[in-house]
Structure formats: structure tokens, C-alpha cells
Amino acid sequence: MQINWQKNPLIPAIAQDHQTNEILMLGYMNEEAYNLTLSTGYAHYFSRSKQRIWKKGESSNHTQEVKDMLLDCDADTLILKIHQNGVACHTGTKSCFFTSVMQNKRVLEQEVNTNAMYSIVDTLYHTILERKNATDGTKSWTKKLLNDKELMLSKIREEADEVCVAINEESDEQVIYESADLLYHTLVGLGYRDISPDRVKQELGRRFGISGIEEKETRKK
């Protein structure tokens, strides 16, 4: 049985411990990720938020060695029987499924401090998404911004202006402080739109080596 990639360009891929059968995470694969997984023996996925192929553990080294791949009867869902190196979840938890809906609490504890494995931007962005998706009445400035688009937009404009003022007439320390404020509020805006900062990095990478004038000309076409 073969996957019909024309009909299903993106299919769910469930990572399951090959010894305990514990479900560790759910990702998605396109044909390229599927073929990379087969050829390398390590799980590759297509990130819907980053809009690119990613090898599990590319930042943390918490890779997934694939022992087998099982295709369901409709040929549109995969189970990966894997050996998990480290933990499966970017939060440092063994499994991505650690919140009980019925108990309304976390049922698995963090095993690894992953803060040093990811950039502060990535860590902050995921924290923003956690605030966005919180249903326990969590009160925070981030949650308030996400629930009030006009306030969020006004803060981004305000912080951008304060960066300009700081660059023009204030100390280096104040420039750094105001820039941090602007970056945080911009990340909240990205979180509001569910746009991963990785996509901004990709755009910067695309522009690298292209003159600003040339890049602007390409936008007009």
C-alpha cells in the first residue's frame, strides 16, 4: 500500500516508543519528510508553523531513531515506532501529552531543562503560545495583549517609537532595554497570528547576500 501524496500532501505521524508503546508526540509529514525518514533512519517532519522540513532533535539533539513505520488502512496516517533519545517534547517533558483535560492539570513533570537548548526567542515564543492557549484563567500581561488586539498593536507601535528615541538620544543600555521590549511585543503579535519566528529567520536567510535595493525590487514584481 502506497501513500497518495497528491490526495494527502500532509499526513499525521504519531511517534510511539517501540518498547513501551507510549505515545510521545504527533507531527506531520509531507513526501520529502517521509523519504528523509526512510533514508536516514531518523524522524523528520514538516512543521506547519515553521513551514519547513525539520529533523526531530535538530536543536536539542533529542533525536528519534525509527525502528519501524506502520501505515494505517487508509494509507493516510503513520505510526513511527521509535527509540527516543532524550525527551520528545520541547518543554523537556518525556511526552508531549502531559495535560489532563478531565483533571485540568499537568500529569507529567519536566525531566530536562531545555532553556539552554533553544534560543531565548524560541523559548519566549512557546511561552507566549502557552499563555494564548491557557484555559485555567491564567492572568498575565501576555494574555491581556492577546485578548485585546488594539492594545497589542498600540504597544508594538509605542515600543518601536521608544527604540527610535533611545537610538537617537539615550544610552546603550536603554537602547538594549527598549529593543527587548519591542522584540517581546512583536513576538506576542507573531503568536497572535500563529507565525513562528523561525519563518522570520528563514526570510532573513533568503535575503542574505541580496542588496536591499534588489530585494525591494523583487517585491514589486
**Predicted confidence (pLDDT) per residue in 99-136, tens digit:** 888 888 889 988 877 766 678 898 899 899 989 988 76
User: What dihedral do alpha carbons 136, 137, 139, 143 form, nearest 10°?
Assistant: 80
Per-residue confidence (pLDDT) for residue 213, from 0 to 100: 55
Asked whether the domain spanning 120-220 has the same topology as the one spanning 11-106, the reply is no
Assign domain 11-106 one CATH number from 3.30.420.10, 3.10.20.810, 3.40.190.290, 2.60.120.10. Answer: 3.10.20.810
Query: CA–CA distance from 130 to each of 9, 36, 159, 192 (Å)?
Result: 28, 30, 23, 12
From the centroid of its chain, how far is CA 140?
A: 21
Per-residue confidence (pLDDT) for residue 39, from 0 to 100: 97
Nearest to 134 by CA among 165, 99, 166: 99
- Positions of the chain with pLDDT under 70: 115-117, 136-138, 210-221
pTM equals: 0.71
Per-residue confidence (pLDDT) for residue 208, from 0 to 100: 82
Per-residue confidence (pLDDT) for residue 155, from 0 to 100: 97
pLDDT in tens, 157-167: 999 999 999 99
C-alpha cell at 70: 506502520
Nearest to 40 by CA among 54, 59, 24: 54
Per-residue confidence (pLDDT) for residue 116, from 0 to 100: 64
**What's the fold here for domain 120-220?**
Helix Hairpins (1.10.287)
Per-residue confidence (pLDDT) for residue 117, from 0 to 100: 63
d(C-alpha 203, C-alpha 218), whole Å: 13
What is the domain partition of the chain in residue ranges? 11-106, 120-220
